[in-house]
Structure 1
Amino acid sequence: MIIRQIHVTPVAFRDPPLLNAAGVHEPWALRTIVEVVTDEGLTGLGETYGDLGHLGKVRECAQALIGLDVHATNTMYARISAIVGHTVTDLHGLTGAATKEKSIDRVFSPFEVACLDIRGKAAGVPVTDLLGGRIRDAVPYSAYLFYKWAGHPDGEPDRFGAALDESSVVEQAALLINEYGFESIKLKGGVFPPDQEIAAIRALHEAFPETPLRLDPNATWTVETSIRVGQELEGTLQYLEDPTPGISGMAEVAAAVPMPLATNMCVVTHEHLPPAIASRAIGVLLLDHHYWGGLVRSAHVATLCDTFGLALSMHSNSHLGISLAAMTHLAAATPNLTFACDTHTPWQDGQDVVAPGALRFVNGAVPVPAGPGLGVELDRDALAVMNEQYEKCGISARDDTSYMQRFEPTFSARRPRW
């Protein structure tokens, strides 16, 4: 099955004003859709980031993969590595340090996913079977809560409403749980002083006493603040995610707080694993196939984590249905991924590039799509609309900080902040 064509299409979709440590989401989220077409007429799908620098590398690498067999992923990786070189293409700041290896992996990932999609279609089996077979039929996801404005300052209020205090955060959780059936909750912190976010977690615990809770301040706290918050929230958090910057800081906090620490910031590539494991800095790694090098490489990382007793969850960035399908196949085939995964899907509010029907939430979990490969197909009309939105939206790279500074000129994304 020889690759004859690769189509790379940037897209944009509406995004609410979700607050975080770097600032606030802009009105449009960017993604890139990759279609790999073989000489036998099979097409595979991949999805990745949409920032212009990354998009340029994806387009450049696509040309270098024409003529390869879809099974030749080692050769694909080598060619992409030679092209990407030392380019750093991850600059928005919420997924940890940018490294050469991470930049290569994040360009390689959508091509690998698309090739697995093709291989599954050719064999008539789902991608889970190519990853060792499913060990769960549906993958649990968590309600991903954000502090947010009622709407973008230059637009109308959105249906989710404002969430700037404890009561509105609880209301947001109730909305997402009622609509999707989520059975765990994660709050994106690092927005307000720690005591205000402690109060929000306590309010969520009171409102949903049997529901596991997580808090992610994106490394905005010092070691001392992290220890204080962790100790004050004893008995309320399933895990505390990235409270402070760096492996050494996380290790110091981990030794002093009662709950496990999780990360998608201080351990984001293979070179970070040995020091994190040796220092016991984390108890939970949030996998993300978009920057760990695709599904197979992520599965290898999962096996290594199991060897050293690290639990797994899954990180999410603003994404569409191709990514949700890939995430679901990976999680369904990963025995030690036992924590519910993160997802931004509710914030898409129905926008997608995949045809409806293959992906749905049942009691907060996504059943593994039934068809071969990823089990999803492109909605070409939706793809065309989102591509036109990309061309017209005026955004070429995610920049939460600059967007926030338009409305709050003194805002700084420095870390740690408290």
Structure 2
Amino acid sequence: MSTRDRVRSNTTPVWSRRTTSILRVVGTTAWLRSSGSSWSRTGSSRQADRARSILPAMKITDITCIPSWNGHRNDTYVFVDTDAGITGIGEGGLTGQELAMAACIEHLEPRLIGRDPFEIERLWQLLFRGGFFPAAKIGAAAISAIDIALWDIKGKALGVPVYELLGGKVRDRVVVYPHNRSGEAAAGRGQIDELVASCLETWRAGWKFVRWGLPQQGDGVLEGAPAVRMCVEQVRAVRDALGPEAEICVDVHTRLDQTDTIQLLRAVEPYRPYFMEDPIRAENLTSLRRVRQVTAVPIAMGEHASSKWELKDLIEEELADYVRVDVTMCGGLSEARKIAGWAETHYLKIAPHSPNGPVVSAASLHLCLATDNFGVLECPRRPGTHLADAFPVQLEWEDGYLLPPSRPGLGVSVDRDVLRTRYPYRPTPMPSLHRRDGSLTNW
């Protein structure tokens, strides 16, 4: 039985019986406006007030943050409770700084208690700008988690999936790419063989894309020139094995300097990768401008951004073909949809960064369903194959695509107690890579 069938047969809607009245009033209002009725401003205002009064009167009563070990890394989940009995769930990014996010959420909570969760944009502005200093990485990740939870609440209260609140679907399904095994534990030809086997496995299972990270030399060592040579061999081998129809993505993870990046991108051009992700560090766009000038390979960047302002030059100068907006880092769905609209004015597509838990997968899916300028969505594994006991209802995957959820809100459910007891936070060393001489490079 598919996830969708289980949802339809076993779930009871969480929204109240007032939803019918809500939609009736809101629907009538929308029809009158679209039909060109000559309302007076006063009449329109009265209708809006009436519609708002029928909406569930809710206040935020509690916010809980649960950092949770997923078997590979820690995820950070946020639960926003209301006095109407509706709970929204969100997720924050920033791997390795989960406890800092949790502390920030605790700091922000007093600003939200007693507030109306429907006023999503007002609360976003309050959290981002309310302390004089604009939110940076940790603050933006905390705000992202809260923002996503608020969208979940609103969808559940109104009885509609979040994508309906974002303007409705512009597509019927969303293409996704997995994380393939890159063979880093092997050496030489064995590394390539393991990667090819992984890509063939996902390709035959129905995925339309394959993706892997820049190869290392083992034991946390990454040297630029050997990594470039091995990566070119990997791309060539995967293209030969899968043929011309498969889409190839390689995540360089900002690990190379400008010289190595240019050599890599020029060398893989004949194999037509869909994009090369984060080919160079994000702090200095001057180097990215040089890279952009000397290669035709599509570039994907932007996952480090914690607001639309941090993506200004990348978008305005069209320094990337795909904007890697991360809804758990950039300020949530509220900010992500603004970034997507901005990118559209430059004919750039979004390819959301989504490497963590089921909640970010769901939030990113809703964004992509409602965004026209979309390329591909990251989805490390098939939904339902991971954390199934903690998230008994997850997204539905079919032949390389995620399907629109039919449940209201984000469309995923979570057992908070299972998350706490079976997947407690696990202190984990910050990941790092180094050169052979002991100096650090980007992880």
TM-score with structure 2 setting the length: 0.75
Does structure 1 retain, via aligned residues, the 8 Å contact 2:78–2:146?
yes
How far apart, CA to CA, are the structure 1 residues paired with 2:119 and 2:376? 32
Matches within 5 A, 1:108-119: 108-119=143-154
Instruction: Work out whether 1:54 is the aligned partner of 2:101.
Output: yes
Cα RMSD for the two superposed structures: 2.9
Shift of 1:197: 0.8
SS of 2:64's equivalent in the other structure is strand
Number of corresponding residues: 369
Q: CA 1:263–1:356 in 2, change beyond 3 Å: closer, same or farther?
A: same
How far apart, CA to CA, are the structure 2 residues paired with 1:58 and 1:242? 29
1:19 aligned residue? none
Q: 1:186 aligns with which of 211, 233, 238?
A: 211
Q: CA 1:139–1:124 in 2, change beyond 3 Å: closer, same or farther?
A: same
Instruction: Work out whether 1:136 is the aligned partner of 2:171.
Output: yes
1:176 aligned residue? 202
Instruction: Work out whether 1:413 is the aligned partner of 2:440.
Output: yes
2:373 aligned residue? 336
Report the residue type matching 1:296 in the other structure: S
Instruction: Work out whether 1:248 is the aligned partner of 2:300.
Output: no
How far apart, CA to CA, are the structure 2 residues paired with 1:353 and 1:63? 32
SS of 1:135's equivalent in the other structure is coil
Instruction: Work out whether 1:239 is the aligned partner of 2:275.
Output: yes
SS of 1:67's equivalent in the other structure is coil
1:74-120 C-alpha deviation (Å, 9 max, x unpaired):
4423443368776xxxxxxxxxxxx9444432111111111111111
| Larger RCO (CA within 8 A; separation ≥ 6) | 1
Deviates more, 1:121-130 or 1:6-15: 6-15
Report the residue type matching 1:187 in the other structure: W
2:336 aligned residue? 298
Instruction: Work out whether 1:382 is the aligned partner of 2:418.
Output: yes
Deviates more, 1:345-354 or 1:283-292: 345-354
5+ residue gaps in structure 1?
A: 16-28, 87-98, 152-161
1:151-203 C-alpha deviation (Å, 9 max, x unpaired):
9xxxxxxxxxx996111111122233445x21011221163520101101111
Q: CA 1:147–1:52 in 2, change beyond 3 Å: closer, same or farther?
A: same
Does structure 1 retain, via aligned residues, the 8 Å contact 2:362–2:412?
yes
Matches within 5 A, 1:11-410: 11-15=68-72, 29-49=73-93, 51-81=98-128, 100-147=135-182, 165-179=191-205, 181-189=206-214, 191-192=216-217, 193-209=227-243, 210-236=245-271, 237-245=273-281, 246-264=284-302, 269-317=307-355, 319-337=356-374, 339-345=375-381, 350-352=386-388, 354-387=390-423, 389-390=424-425, 393-395=426-428, 399-401=430-432
SS of 1:125's equivalent in the other structure is coil
How far apart, CA to CA, are the structure 2 residues paired with 1:323 and 1:244? 25
Does structure 1 retain, via aligned residues, the 8 Å contact 2:148–2:363?
yes
1:194-235 C-alpha deviation (Å, 9 max, x unpaired):
010110111111111110112221222232322222222113
5+ residue gaps in structure 2?
A: 1-57, 218-226
**Identity percentage of aligned residues:** 24
Does structure 2 retain, via aligned residues, the 8 Å contact 1:6–1:63?
no
Report the residue type matching 1:311 in the other structure: K
Q: CA 1:258–1:82 in 2, change beyond 3 Å: closer, same or farther?
A: closer
Does structure 1 retain, via aligned residues, the 8 Å contact 2:120–2:151?
no
1:18 aligned residue? none
